[in-house]
Amino acid sequence: MPYKIDDTTVFFDRELEHILAQSRDIRYPPGSYPSMFPINNQASKGDKTITYQSFDSVGVMKFVSDYADDFNRADVNALETPVLIQSSGISYGWSVEEIWGSEKTGKSLNPRRIQAAQRSNEQFLNRIAWKADGTVNWNGLTGFLYHPNITKSPASTGGWSTASSDEIIGDVIFCINNVKVISKGLEKP
Mean pLDDT, consecutive 10-residue segments, the chain of 189 residues? 65 80 88 87 91 94 89 94 89 95 93 94 92 87 87 83 91 88 84
- The pLDDT of residue 185 is 86
d(CA 128, CA 140): 11
Look at residues 117, 128, 165 and name the one whose alpha carbon lies nearest to residue 31.
128
Q: Is the dihedral of CA 58, 63, 66, 68 positive or negative?
A: negative
d(CA 157, CA 143): 27
- The pLDDT of residue 7 is 66
- The pLDDT of residue 8 is 66
- The pLDDT of residue 66 is 87
- The pLDDT of residue 2 is 61
Burial per residue of 32-47, b for 16 or more beta-carbon CB atoms within 10 angstroms, e otherwise: ebeeeeeeeeeeeeee
d(CA 9, CA 109): 36
User: The whole model's pTM is what?
Assistant: 0.69
- The pLDDT of residue 5 is 65
- The pLDDT of residue 6 is 66
